[in-house]
Amino acid sequence: MSKFLVALSLIVAMATPSAFAQAAGNAERGARLAYTCLGCHGIPNYKNSYPNYRVPKLRGQHPEYLVIALQAYRSGERSHATMHANAAGWTDEQYADIAAFLAGPALQPGAISKPVGKAPAAAQTCVACHGNDGLGITPQYPNLAGQHADYLERALTDYKKGGRKNAIMAGFAAQLSAADIKALAAYYAAQKPGLETSRRK
């Protein structure tokens, strides 16, 4: 194993803290709380107005990851004014309920038998956590398969430029060129079965 891969596997191990253990959310309670969320996340191809990119698909995502993302908007680790406003004022328990509802049945590792297309060279480091197929190998690592490419590009650019301050992803995104980001976003967006727009029921 190269030094790089040893270092990477250490990071992967450290990035999986058991402190993240969450109680499973209640999707029925979540359905009642998620009404406003569906105004954006329940409409296929709905766009963030400025800058212009599609709002992320949440159906099939790991609910544990969705809770972590909501905490990041609430704390300001992710700077996005609209999502900060939407995430503020809820408890972690309510997040878990909403996440269980919006995610529906989460795509698990192994759901994709054969990745579509050829992974770009820059994906070499990503696969340790997001898989070759874009399915996160733990519930804390997001699924990327089938996500909107323009949203993936936006997220990676934010990790690179500091709009998102997650320490793990900042390190990996820093090494990516704009062309790498485009290629990675297109590759993971093409994977099937993938994430979908959340449904009202």
Nearer to ligand HEC, 112 or 144 (CB): 144
Residue type at 50 in one-letter notation:
Y
**Cβ-based nearer residue to ligand HEC, 7 or 192:** 7
Question: CA Rg, the chain, in Å?
Answer: 16
Work out how close the CB of 192 gets to ligand HEC at its nearest, in angstroms, rounded to a whole number. 17
Q: Smallest distance from the beta carbon of 107 to ligand HEC, in angstroms?
A: 13
Query: Burial code of 73-96, b = ≥16 C-beta within 10 A, e = fewer?
Result: bbeeebebeebeebbeebeeebbb
Residue 140 has phi, psi (to 5 degrees) of: -90, -15
CA 91/CA 129 separation, integer angstroms? 28
Can you give the binding site for ligand HEC, defined by CB under 6 A?
A: 11-12, 15, 34, 36-37, 39-41, 48, 55-56, 58, 66, 68-70, 72, 78, 80, 82-83, 86, 98, 122, 125-126, 128-130, 140-142, 144, 152, 154-156, 164, 166, 168-169, 172, 176, 184
Nearer to ligand HEC, 27 or 66 (CB): 66
Q: Supply the minimum distance, in Å, between the C-beta of residue 100 and ligand HEC.
A: 11
* CB neighbour class for 34 (10 Å; exposed up to 12, middle 13-18, buried from 19): buried
CB of 4 vs ligand HEC, minimal distance in Å: 11
Query: What is the smallest separation between the CB atom of 188 and ligand HEC, expressed in angstroms?
Result: 7
Q: How far is the CB of 180 from ligand HEC (least distance, A)?
A: 7
Place of tokens 């190998």: 137
Between the alpha carbon of residue 87 and those of residues 91, 171, 192, the distances in Å are 9, 26, 29
Both structure tokens of 137: 């190998």
> Measured between alpha carbons, how far is 170 from 195 in angstroms, rounded to an integer?
23
